[in-house]
Amino acid sequence: MKFFIDTADIDEIRDLAETGLVDGVTTNPSLIAKTGRKFTEVVAEICAVIDGPVSAEVTALDAPGMINEGRKLRQIADNVAVKVPLTPDGLKACKALSAEDTMVNVTLCFSAAQAILAAKAGAAFVSPFVGRLDDIGGDGMALIADIVEIYDNYAAFTTEILVASIRHPMHVIEAARLGAHIATMPPAALRQLYDHPLTDKGLAAFLDDWAKTGQSILES
C-alpha cells in the first residue's frame, strides 16, 4: 500500500519524506489557503520535495473551466495530479485531461456507482471519503470493499483506489486488508501508525539496562 499525506504544510512534508514512508501528497484549496501563500507556489514547492503524485485541485465548476485550470496546474511539474470533483462536469474534465496523459484524481466519491464512473472516465485515482461517510452513520470501509471487488472484476479499470478522509490507524489497516492501493492521511494520522505504548516501554527498559553498563558504542 502507498501512503500519501493530506496537507500543504511544507515543513511536515519534508519531515515525513525523510522517513521514506511518503509516496505522494494530496492537497485542496482549503489546505493551501491555510498557508497564506500563493496556490501555484505551494504546489511547486511540494512537487520539488515529493517524487510521487501531488494532487492539486481545480476550483472551477464547469468542465471547460476545470480543463483549463487542469492544463495550467499540470505545467507546474510532471508529478502533478489534477484533482476534480465527482460531478458530471468533473467526469467530462477527467476524460479530456486523461486523454492528454494528465494524471487525474477524481475526489469526493461516496458510492461504488460513482467509483465506476471515475474508472470509466479514465481517472488515475478515485478518492472515496471513508471518514465523512462514517460521520453520517454510513460505513466507509464497506464502500472500499465494494470498490475493490468491482475494480478487480475488470482488467480495463486501471484507476487506483485512494482512500481519503482517514481519521485513525484502523482506517489505514482496514483499507490495506481490503486491498486499496493508497491511503492519504493527515501527518498526525501517519505518525499514529508507529506509536505504541509497548514500544515505548520496551525501549525505555533497554536504555535503562544499557545505562547501567556505563558503556558507549561510539567509544568502544
Within 8 A by CB and 6+ apart from 28, the residues are 55, 57, 83, 107
Beta bridge partners of 104: 82
In sign, the C-alpha dihedral spanning 75, 184, 120, 57 is: negative
Active site residue 38: no
Identified catalytic residue from 38, 83, 92, 212:
83
Strand locations in 7-159, DSSP E?
Answer: 24-26, 54-57, 80-85, 103-109, 125-128
Print the SS3 string covering 108-128: EECCHHHHHHHHHCCCCEEEE
Within 8 A by CB and 6+ apart from 150, the residues are 112, 115, 116, 157
Which residues are known to be catalytic?
A: 83
